[in-house]
Amino acid sequence: MTTRVVVLLSGSGTLCQALLDAVDAGGVDAEVVAVVSDQADAYGLERARRAGIPAVAHPLAKGADRAVWDAELTRIVDGYEPDLVASAGFMKLLGESFLARFGGRTINTHPALLPSFPGMHGPRDALAAGVKVAGATVFLVDPGIDTGRILLQGAVDVLPDDDVDTLHERIKVVERRLLIQAVSEWKKENP
């Protein structure tokens, strides 16, 4: 049975593109049924449109009621009847309404080896801490900030001349592979 996936993103959509490419190549028994972004100008929405996938912008207006936005996001995603929601570079926390509906079947990627370096600056924080190994994590989303059950991790050596950008680029390669693996294994582990 093919896994129906809604991808949430905020930016360029390289994680989403990696998943789309893996699906197209037959490496993943999944279908991306929609891409939703909190940014109307996110390039990831254009990637979805080019692939013939519904692309929906759902921005959170400054000063807007976060709970109302979350309930609307829940309604939008629910309309596509996903088996799995993949938060792939989505820079908003998912709220109570969303997690009540999709908790236990929403995964997120993170550019650090959780539980170390949660939050928005994993590669920067890893460099600042002087670690020798960084990496990426895929986890089940819960109400906390990057605190859900870890599903997959991959390590990346921190090189002596690394800066945030070079380290993050190498982490993204692992992050893409882990996202594809997590989606590929979802139905096997969650029949």
User: Which residues are catalytically annotated?
Assistant: 110
What phi and psi, each to the nearest 5 degrees, are found at residue 102? -120, 10
Give how far Cα 46 sits from Cα of 15, 61, 164, 179, 180, Å: 14, 21, 27, 20, 20
How far apart are the C-alpha atoms of 21 and 18, rounded to whole Å?
A: 5
**Angle (CA) 32 123 127, round 5°:** 165
